[in-house]
Structure 1
Amino acid sequence: MRLIPINSLQPGMKLGKKIYNEDGIILLSENAELTEAVIRRLRRHGLNFVYVADPRTEDVVPVEMIEEETRRRALKEIRTNFRKMTGPAVKGLVYPYLGKTFSGLVEEIMDDLSAREDAMIMMMNVNSMDHYLYRHSLNVCIYTILLGQIHGYSKSDLTFLGLGALLHDIGKTKLPLQLLTKAGKLTDAEYEQVKQHAEFGFKMLKDEPGIPLVSAHCAYQHHERLNGSGYPRGLKGEEISEFARWIAITDSYDAMTTHRVYRSAMLPHQALEVLYTGCGHLYEKSKLEVFRDRVAIYPLGMAVRLSTGEKGIVAKIHGIFPQRPVVRVLTDPDGEDLKVPYDVDLSQQLSVVITEVDGMNQIG
């Protein structure tokens, strides 16, 4: 299958991968025909890319980082529990179910990731219309647990890290919905109000049974930066929790690669470039290097142009060299379709590079 920008969809194309609505219910199944009305609906819901069926690339099948059922169940639990907490902060209000509910989810995610050898951080925002806060919380949790496993944390530390990542933005449930969904740029006063979510989250989690204090500090500190330029306390370097330093990277990456009401999404390689501009002063270099080596900057099925002038799609991603994927060449330098497509392994053909990604100018 191929991954193409929403603006390149044509009526008559067939969907390659099912799409879920905000309640986790399948909205469109594989091989569903894309009509003009369906395409408009997908665009209205903020999807940037869609997988479509293509006989030349039918063997290119993206593998989810976690099981489909795990992801659906996790989103349902996040949605249900976060909605219970939505509303103004109330002093003394407790949420005793949080620790048990979300610890179980974190363990399921850990098990799924452990079963996937050489798991890569994939673009995960192409087939779900879920509310940004719910989807973002899950994505950050998955990315962070994977990095924690690579780092070698114990199972208990991974659980604490995963809980902190899953609940890092829980304080946003205490902010007005119109503020979170504002289409235009926030005023200075509104931005200061949004920044309060870090403190709100910490206060919600710090005394909860089943929520370790180190996990609560992830909510408090995930916007702190090494040079002290972050918030809410302007912490520096190792004053910031080690877990929060991981989440600072995954939180920023997922936010940049997700469509928002006020700006379009970046592609993975663009987001990685932005992260690296903060290497050493915003984000920890060693952690950023672990992230870089596990992020699929060119997602499976993405259309690319090579330095040879040929065009094709990313057909395989190497775990060791994710920046040098296998490309299925579909057209010659003149744009003519090849009768017999062929694969170029960029990890072997070092003189050939990717020069352009389809959709980069549309959503970058």
Structure 2
Amino acid sequence: MRLVSTKHIKPGATLGQTIYNDNGMILLQKEMCLSENILQRLIDQGITYVYIEDDETKDINVEPAISEKLRKEATESVREIFSEIKSDDLLSNSFILDKEEKGLMAIVNRLMEEINHHEESISLLADIFLTDDYIFQHSLNVTIYSLAIGSALNLSKKELSELGTGAILHDIGKAFIDPVVLQKPNKLTDEEFALMKEHTTIGFDLLRKQSSVSSVVAHCAYQHHERLDGSGYPRGLVGDEIHKYAKIIGVADVFDAVTSNRIYRDAMLPHEGLEILYAGAVSLFDKQMVEAFKKSVAVYPNGLTVLLSDGRIGVVIKQNKNLCDRPYIRVIKDKNKQMITPYELDLAKELNITITACNVE
């Protein structure tokens, strides 16, 4: 399969990966022929990249980071928690999360297990959804990325469990933000942004009242928008005043936000999202955590067409574990952009060759 921008796909191409809605229902089946109308619908829905079948890359394997069954169950669990909390009185001494604790912990533990058994670096581009409520998929994606970072940092099982719970609930305060503001397709006004920022404090106040929720989990909701240099919110904390879980979730949150499909802007590719993290390393994000993230995530996903520094063009076919910016490449065009008999190149060994551009023809 090949990963291609929906704006560059020609009608008649064959879809390589099934596309779901956020309830896990199939909307477009794998192997469906993509008509002009279907392609336009994908673009209109904010789907920036999809996998298509391709003779040169039909043997390239793209595995989801977690199983379809677990993703559906986890998303539904987050949806139910948000829905129940939203229908409850925010000011009451609510114990909704107390009764949901076992199910939530089971979800986090299963996510940890599947991530640890995933043979390649994590890529969520294989999981394509048409969603009316971004927040549920975002909460799950941030949890997956956070657990991957935590594992790379050698956190204990107990720490990973706390981190995962904090990540899956980090945006719980958004249940009480006006949907008009939450889903606004263009830039927020100063007043709307001030309202949006309140989700951190609302989430903290809610979580700290739950007898089954630890203080560090509540602080994940409170601090995930804090930044090392004090430029974050709600308290402008600096450096080690920010809990390490919140620092990890902050990295995962930004990466997923910029690499997710949204109707009002194109998703960035993973290497572009990583560049944003590196640009903020030291001043905004903990550099050690950004490095751990880089080890865990497929910066150049399988199926992506890339331009090499010597002018050759190839397709990413496999990842080098812990060397996510140095994948295996199937070279398909020479320096003159002429088709050739494909051959394999391992960028972990060819250190003088780098990837200089993506999604090239």
Q: Give me the TM-score of the superposition, normalised by structure 2.
A: 0.93
Q: Tell me the secondary structure at the aligned position of residue 142 of structure 1.
A: helix
Query: What is residue 346 of structure 1 aligned with on the other side?
Result: 347
Q: Tell me the secondary structure at the aligned position of residue 97 of structure 1.
A: helix
Q: Tell me the secondary structure at the aligned position of residue 72 of structure 2.
A: helix
Deviates more, 1:307-316 or 1:210-219: 307-316
5+ residue gaps, structure 2, are none
Contact 2:173–2:199 under 8 Å retained in 1: yes
Query: What is residue 246 of structure 2 aligned with on the other side?
Result: 244
Q: Tell me the secondary structure at the aligned position of residue 7 of structure 2.
A: helix
Q: How does 1:305-344 map to 2 (within 5 A)?
A: 305-338=307-340, 340-344=341-345
In 2: Cα distance, 1:177 partner to 1:104 partner:
30
Contact 2:47–2:261 under 8 Å retained in 1: yes
Contact 1:225–1:235 under 8 Å retained in 2: yes
Question: Given residue 90 of structure 1, which amino acid in structure 2 is its aligned partner?
Answer: L
In 1: Cα distance, 2:222 partner to 2:76 partner:
25
Query: What is residue 287 of structure 1 aligned with on the other side?
Result: 289
Deviation track 1:133-179 (CA, whole Å, cap 9, x = no partner) reads 11110011011112212222222221111000011011111111111
Deviation track 1:293-346 (CA, whole Å, cap 9, x = no partner) reads 2221111111111223222211111013211111112233343333x3222222
Query: Percent identity between the aligned chains?
Result: 39
Q: How does 1:114-193 map to 2 (within 5 A)?
A: 114-117=116-119, 119-124=120-125, 127-130=128-131, 131-193=133-195
Deviates more, 1:169-178 or 1:84-93: 84-93
Note closer, same or farther for the CA distance 1:204–1:238 as it changes in structure 2 (3 Å cut): same
Query: What is residue 27 of structure 1 aligned with on the other side?
Result: 27
Q: What is the deviation of 1:87? A: 6.3
Contact 2:148–2:293 under 8 Å retained in 1: no
Question: Given residue 350 of structure 1, which amino acid in structure 2 is its aligned partner?
Answer: L
The answer to whether the aligner puts 1:297 opposite 2:322 as a matched pair is: no
Query: What is residue 65 of structure 2 aligned with on the other side?
Result: 65
Contact 1:257–1:268 under 8 Å retained in 2: yes
Contact 1:168–1:219 under 8 Å retained in 2: yes
In 1: Cα distance, 2:264 partner to 2:33 partner:
30
Q: Tell me the secondary structure at the aligned position of residue 51 of structure 1.
A: strand
Q: Tell me the secondary structure at the aligned position of residue 196 of structure 1.
A: helix
Note closer, same or farther for the CA distance 1:26–1:261 as it changes in structure 2 (3 Å cut): closer
Contact 1:226–1:236 under 8 Å retained in 2: yes
Q: Give me the TM-score of the superposition, normalised by structure 1.
A: 0.93
Q: What is the deviation of 1:125? A: 6.9
Q: Tell me the secondary structure at the aligned position of residue 8 of structure 1.
A: coil
One of 94, 102, 105 as aligned partner of 1:103: 105
Deviates more, 1:98-107 or 1:85-94: 85-94
Q: How does 1:212-227 map to 2 (within 5 A)?
A: 212-227=214-229
Q: Tell me the secondary structure at the aligned position of residue 173 of structure 1.
A: helix
In 1: Cα distance, 2:316 partner to 2:353 partner:
14
CA RMSD of aligned residues (A): 1.9
In 1: Cα distance, 2:89 partner to 2:222 partner:
15
Contact 2:44–2:263 under 8 Å retained in 1: no
Contact 2:17–2:29 under 8 Å retained in 1: yes
Q: Tell me the secondary structure at the aligned position of residue 60 of structure 2.
A: coil
5+ residue gaps, structure 1, are none
